[in-house]
Amino acid sequence: MNLFHNFWDYFIPGLTTGSMYAVIAIGYTLVYGVLQLINFAHSEVFMMGGFGSLVVLSELAPQSPHGFTSVVWVIVGMIAGALVGALTAFGLEKAAYKPLRKRNAPKLVFLISAIGASFFLYNLAGKLWGRNPVPMPELYTNGEVFSVFGTPVKITQLIIIGSAVAMMIGLDLVVNRTKMGAGIRAVAQDAETAGLMGVDIDKIISRTFIIGGLLGGAAGFLYGFGISGQVWFTVGFLPGIKAFAAAVLGGIGNIRGAMLGGLLLGIVENLSSPLFGTQWIDVTAFVVLILVLMFRPTGIMGERLGRSA
Amino acid sequence: MTEAANFEKETAGSVTEAPAMLELVDLQVFYGAIQALKGINVTVRQGEVVALLGANGAGKTTTLRTISGLLQPRHGEVRLGGERIDGVPSHKVVELGIGQSPEGRRVFPVMTVLENLEMGAYRFKGVPKDDLERVLDLFPRLAERRTQLAGTLSGGEQQMLAIGRALMGRPNLLLLDEPSMGLAPLIVQQIFEIIKEINDQGTTVLLVEQNASQALQLADRGYVLETGAIVMEDDASALLSDPRVRAAYLGEGAA
C-alpha cells in the first residue's frame, strides 16, 4: 500500500488521462443533448483524429524537434487532429444519422447505425494504416519540467492538461456566450420550440457534431502524442467507452458534468492502481460508475431525467 | 360603398373589410390514417383577433401546428398574404412574420428569462433593444425576473414569457395556443388584457382557446371546431350569445 507515499505519482497521470476523458466526453454529451442519441462512433472520431495528426506529423515534422519548433509541431498536430476529427464527425452525421432522422427512425435504429459506422471506420483505418500500432513522431524527449512533492511532471502531461483545460473553457464560452451556443442549448431543451424561434435544427445538429469532432480529434492527437505514444485502429475503443462512462457519471447532456466526470474518472482509476493493482484500473472505473448511478441515477450534475419534459 | 364610407368604417375600429392576412383553404391534416382536420376554411384579416374554439381533440392545436410548418397538410393550402406557405419549414415560417406561443408554453427551462426572450429574437442579428424594452414594459413581471431560470417561474409567468418570446420575433401574426390553460382566473384576466394591448399595438392575433367566454370577449370573430371540422363561424358577439355555444362551451343549460 504505497498510495499515500506516492499520491502525486498517481494523481498527476490521473489528471492527465482524466482531462483527456473530459474532452472526449464533451462530444458524447453534446450530441446526446441535441439528439438524445449516444454517438457510439465518437471513439472513431477520436481514432481518426489520432491518425490524421500522425500522418501530417510524419510527413511534415522534422526528426526530434526541440524548443520552439516542438511547440509549433504540437500545435500543428493538434489542429490536424481536430480538423480530421471534425470532418469525420460531420461525415458521420450526414451518412449515418441524418438519413434516419429524415425518416423518423426509432432510437434503436440510430444505435445500430452508430455501431455500424464505428465498425466501418476502425476497419477502414486498419485497411489504411495496418493493424499494428504506428508510433507517433516524437515531439518532445519528455523532459521533466518541475516536480510536485517529489513527483516529476513531464512536459507532455502539462501540454495535455493545459490544452484540455483551454478547450474546456473555450467550449464553455461558445456554448454559454454565443448565439450558436444558445441555439445548441435551445435545441437540447426543446428542439421543436427552438424551430419555432427560427433555429435551423439541422444546422445546429451538424455544428454540434463538428464541435464534438474538433474536441475528440484533438484528444486523439494528445493521446497518441503524450499517453500511448502510438496510434492503432482500435485505439478509440477504451478511451471512448471510458469517456462515455464519464459523460454518464457527470450526467449525460450536461456539459460541465461531462468535464467533471472525465476528470474524476481519470483520477479515481489511477489512484486505484496502487490499491488494487494496475490490472484492475478499468474495472475500478466502471465500478465507480455503477456505484454513483445507484445513488444518483441521473449522474452527478444531471437533472434532465428528473425534470418533467 | 364609397371610399369615404370605407374609410369611416375602418377608422371606427371595424376590421371586417381589411385584407386577409392568413387563409386556410380546405385544410386537411392526417396523423397516419387518422384525419385530424377535415377540410377547414379559416380567414384572419389584418388587425383582427380571431378565436378558434373547441373541446380537447377538436383539432385546434393541429391547426396552429400546420400554420407554423410543424405539420404538413395532405390537402388544402395555408396562405399568408396570398402566398402559399404550407411546406415551408417551421424555422422559415417565423421569418415570414408568424410568431407562436405554443401549447403548454414550452419555455426553455434551463435558460434565464432574458435568454428565453433573446431566443425569440434568434432570427435577427443581435437582440433589438427596443423590442426587448417593449416586451419588458408589457410584462413587468418578466423584467423583475429577468435573470431567473424560466423553469422556476410560475405557470402565469411562463405564459407571459412564452408570449413575450414570440413578440421578440416581431410577428405580424401572433398564434396563441391556449394561453389560459391551467391558470388562475385573475392571471387569465391579466393575460387577456395584455393580448388586447398587443393587438391594439397592431399585431394580428389568432387565439386558440377552450375558455370560450374569455376568448370571445376579446375576439372580433370566432370559429368553432368540432372533431376536425368548423361547425360555426361568426362575429364574436354573435357567437357569445348563440345558445349552442353557450350550452357547449360556456356551461349553460347543459343537457
Q: Is residue A263's pLDDT more than 90? A: yes
Question: Which of A78, A70, A43 is closest to A241 using CA atoms?
Answer: A43
Task: With beta carbons less than 8 A apart as the criterion, state whether A141 and A225 touch.
Answer: no
- Domain span at B97: 47-69+89-249
Is A193 an 8 Å CB contact of chain B? yes
Q: Mean of the pLDDT values across residues A18-24?
A: 97
- Interface-testing mutation among B122, B149, B159, with chain A (most A C-beta atoms within 10 A): B122
Categorize the per-residue pLDDT at A142 as very low, low, confident or very high, splitting at 50, 70 and 90. low
If one counts the domains in chain A, the total is 1
The answer for residues whose C-beta is within 8 angstroms of residue A45's C-beta and 6 or more apart is A27, A85, A88, A89, A92, A212, A213, A216, A217, A220, A236
Residue with cell 500522418: A55
Is residue B16 predicted with pLDDT exceeding 60?
no
Cβ-contact A292, A249 below 8 angstroms:
yes
Among candidates B247, B227, B195, B254, which has minimal Cα distance to B50?
B195
Residues in chain A within 8 Å Cβ distance of B105: none
Instruction: pLDDT band for A66, please (50, 70, 90 cuts).
Output: confident
**Bridge partner list, B204:** B173
Answer yes or no: is pLDDT of A305 > 60: no
Task: Give the integer Cα–Cα distance in Å for A9 and A7.
Answer: 5
Cβ atoms of A88 and A213 within 8 Å: the answer is: yes
Instruction: Check A194 against B169: CB less than 8 A apart.
Output: no
What confidence tens digit (pLDDT) does each residue in A90-121 have?
A: 999 999 999 999 999 999 999 999 999 999 99
Residues in chain B, overall count:
255
Res B1: pLDDT: 41
Q: Within a domain: residue B29?
A: no
> Contacts of residue A196 in chain B, CB cutoff 8 Å?
68, 70, 90-91, 94, 100, 102
Whether the pLDDT of residue B68 is over 70: the answer is yes
Q: Angle, to 10 degrees, between the axis of helix B185-200 and the axis of helix B129-138?
A: 140
Which residue from A179, A190, A200 is facing B91, i.e. has the nearest CB?
A200
Predicted confidence at residue B9, as pLDDT, reads 42
Per-residue pLDDT reduced to its tens digit, A270-298: 999 888 888 999 999 899 889 988 988 88
* Percentage of residues in chain B having pLDDT higher than 70: 91
pLDDT higher than threshold 80 for residue A4: no
Q: Which residue type occupies A174? A: V
Segment (H or E) for A217: helix A201-226
Residue B42 falls inside a structural domain: no
Alpha carbon A81 to chain centroid distance?
12
C-alpha distance from residue B119 to each of A172, B68, B159 (Å): 19, 17, 15
pLDDT, tens digit, for every residue of A34-48? 999 999 999 999 999
A13 domain residue, yes or no: no
Q: How many domains does chain B have?
A: 1
Of A236-245, A290-299, B219-228, where does mean pLDDT reach its minimum? A290-299
pLDDT at res. A306: 40
Distance CA B137, CA B153 (A): 18
Residue A29 has pLDDT above 50, yes or no: yes
Which candidate in B119, B131, B152 is best for mutational testing of the A interface (most A CBs within 10 A)? B119
Instruction: Flag whether residue A144 sits within 8 Å of chain B, measured between CB atoms.
Output: no
pLDDT category of residue A61 using cuts at 50, 70 and 90: confident
CA distances from B238 to A165, B208, B209, B223 (A): 67, 18, 17, 11
**In this complex, do B102 and A193 lie within 8 Å of one another by their Cβ atoms?**
yes
Beta-bridge mates of residue A230: A135
Using DSSP, state whether A61 is helix, strand or coil. coil
Tell me, yes or no, whether B24 lies in a domain: no
Name the percent of chain B lying above pLDDT 90: 84
pLDDT digits 0-9 by tens, B144-180: 999 999 999 999 999 999 999 999 999 999 999 999 9
The bridge status of strand B49-53 relative to strand B75-80 is unpaired
- Whether A22 maps to a domain, the answer reads no
Give a three-class secondary structure readout of B188-217: HHHHHHHHHHHHHCCCEEEEEECCHHHHHH
User: What's the 3-state SS for chain B?
Assistant: CCHHHHHHHHHCCCCCCCCEEEEEEEEEEEECCEEEEEEEEEEEECCCEEEEECCCCCCHHHHHHHHCCCCCCCEEEEEECCEECCCCCHHHHHHHCEEEECCCCCCCCCCEHHHHHHHHCCCCCCCCHHHHHHHHHHCHHHHHCCCCEHHHCCHHHHHHHHHHHHHCCCCCEEEEECCCCCCCHHHHHHHHHHHHHHHHCCCEEEEEECCHHHHHHHCCEEEEEECCEEEEEEEHHHHHHCHHHHHHHCCCCCC
Task: Report yes or no on A266 lying in a domain.
Answer: no
**Model confidence band, residue B141 (pLDDT cutoffs 50, 70, 90):** very high
Residue B54, pLDDT > 60, answer yes
Q: Residue A38 falls within a domain, yes or no?
A: yes
Residue A152: pLDDT band (50, 70, 90) is confident
What residue has cell string 422556476? B152
Does residue B8 carry a pLDDT above 50? no
* Residue B173 dihedral angles phi and psi, to the nearest 5°: -125, 125
Report the pLDDT value the prediction gives residue A6, as an integer from 0 to 100: 81
- Round to whole Å and give the CA distance between A43 and A49: 10
Interface of B with A in 145-164 (CB under 8 A): 151
Q: Is B131 a domain residue?
A: yes
Mutate to test the interface with A, among B67, B91, B103, B174 (most CBs of A within 10 A): B91
Q: State how far the Cα of A276 lies from the Cα of A33, in Å rounded to an integer.
A: 36
Tell whether B114 is covered by a domain: yes
Tell me how far apart the alpha carbons of residues A117 and A61 are, in angstroms, rounded to a whole number. Answer: 31
pLDDT at residue number A191: 95
User: Is the minimum CB–CB distance between A306 and chain B shorter than 8 Å?
Assistant: no
Percent of chain A with pLDDT over 70: 96
- Selection from A255, A289, A283 nearest residue A24 by Cα: A255
- Is B89 in contact with A195 (Cβ distance < 8 A)? yes
Is residue A8 in some structural domain?
no
What average pLDDT does the structure give for chain A? 92
Burial class (CB in 10 A: 0-12, 13-18, 19+), A281: middle
Task: Evaluate if residue B61 carries a pLDDT over 50.
Answer: yes
Taken in order A247, A248, A253, A254, is the CA torsion positive or negative?
Answer: negative
pLDDT band at residue B252, thresholds of 50, 70 and 90?
low
> Is it the case that residue B12 has pLDDT exceeding 90?
no
pLDDT in the model for residue B255: 40
On whether residue B33 sits in a domain, the answer given is no
Residues of chain A contacting B123 with CB distance shorter than 8 Å: 197-198
Out of B100, B110, B123, closest to residue A189 by CB: B110
Reduced to 3 states (helix: H, G, I; strand: E, B; else coil), residue A206 is helix
Measured distance CA(B103)–CA(B62) in Å, rounded: 10
Mean pLDDT of chain B: 91
**Span B81-105, pLDDT tens digits:** 999 999 999 999 999 999 999 999 9
Please name every residue paired with B224 in a beta bridge, in sequence order, or none if there are none: B53, B232
Please report the pLDDT score of residue B188 as a whole number.
Answer: 95
- The confidence score (pLDDT) of residue A303 equals 67
Quick check: is A288 in a domain?
no
Q: What is the pLDDT of residues B98-130, one digit of tens each?
A: 999 999 999 999 999 999 999 999 999 988 999
Type of residue at A97: Y
Backbone phi and psi for residue B81, each to the nearest 5 degrees, phi listed first: 55, 35
CATH number of the domain enclosing B231: 3.40.50.300
A27 falls within a domain: no
d(CA A25, CA A239): 9
Q: Measured between alpha carbons, how far is A146 from A152 in angstroms, rounded to an integer?
A: 6
- Residue A95 is predicted with a pLDDT of 97
Residues of B in contact with A184 (CB under 8 A): none
**Closest approach of chain B CAs to the CA of A31, in angstroms?**
18
Nearest to A165 by CA among A6, A56, A20: A20
What's residue B92's pLDDT?
96
Q: At what angle do helices A237-250 and A281-295 cross, to 10 degrees?
A: 20
DSSP state at residue A135: E
- Which one of A182, A193, A194 has the shortest CB-CB distance to B115? A182
Cell for A6? Answer: 506516492
In terms of residue numbers, what domain contains A73? 33-236
**pLDDT of A243 strictly over 70:** yes
